[in-house]
Structure 1
Amino acid sequence: MSWLKFSRSSNSEQIYIILILGLAGDGKSTFINAATGKQQAATSKNLKPCTTSVKDFVYKRSSSKFVFIDTPGLDLDEGKDVDTSVERILARYKRSYVDAIIYLHQSTRKVITRPPEPSSVVTKFQTLCGPDWQSRTILAVMGGTADTARLQAALQAIYFSGMKVAPFTISVQGGGDAWNVLNQVITVKETI
Structure 2
Amino acid sequence: MQHYEQATFAGGCFWCMVKPFDKYEGVISVTSGYTGGHTVNPTYQQVCQGNTGHTEAVQITFDPAMISYKKLLDIFWQQIDPTDSQGQFADRGDSYRPAIFYHNKFQQQQAIASKQALEESKRFSQPINVAIEPATTFYPAEDYHQDYYKKQPEHYNRYYRLSGRANFIADNWQDKPATKSE
Instruction: Please give the TM-score of this superposition, normalised by the length of structure 1.
Output: 0.34
Instruction: Please give the TM-score of this superposition, normalised by the length of structure 2.
Output: 0.35
Structure number with the bigger relative contact order (C-alpha 8 A, sep ≥ 6) is 2
